[in-house]
Amino acid sequence: GQNIDQPTEMTATEGAIVQINCTYQTSGFNGLFWYQQHAGEAPTFLSYNVLDGLEEKGRFSSFLSRSKGYSYLLLKELQMKDSASYLCAVRDHGNSGYSTLTFGKGTMLLVSP
C-alpha cells in the first residue's frame, strides 16, 4: 500500500509565499502530481514531477526528492482565488502491473487579505 501525508490546513496572507509539503511511502514510485480543488468542484492539474528537482510553472513550483519520499508545492504572490484544497497524488506500479494514482487527504489553504 501507500502512505501519503500532507498538512490538513494552512493559512497565509495575500501576496505572501506558502509551501505545502507532502511525504510519501510507496514501493513502485512512478511520478507525483499536485492538484488544486475548489469547494464543490473537480480537481484540476497543477504539476507533475517524476525526476528529482524543481518544476516551475508561473506562480506555482513543485519540488521532488525521490530518495527522501518528499515533495512540496510552492505558491508565490498568493491571491484570494488560491484559497482551495491542494492534493498530492502519487503514481505507482501496482501488483497487477498497471499504474494507479493514490491521493493524499489534501491541504486546505486559506488566503486572507
Interface residues with other proteins (CB under 8 A) are: 30-31, 33, 41-45, 48, 50, 87, 89, 91, 94, 96, 98-106
CB of 87 to other proteins, least distance (A): 7
CB of 79 to other proteins, least distance (A): 22
**Is 8 or 113 the residue whose CB approaches other proteins more closely?**
8
**Is 78 or 91 the residue whose CB approaches other proteins more closely?**
91
Amino acid at 73: L
CB of 39 to other proteins, least distance (A): 11
Q: Rounded to whole angstroms, how far apart are CA atoms 94 and 12?
A: 37
Q: How far is CA 27 from the centre of its chain?
A: 19
**Is 30 or 112 the residue whose CB approaches other proteins more closely?**
30
Q: Rounded to whole angstroms, how far apart are CA atoms 9 and 108?
A: 5
Sequence-distant (≥ 6) Cβ neighbours of residue 20 within 8 angstroms? 6, 7, 10, 72, 73, 74, 75, 86, 88, 107, 109
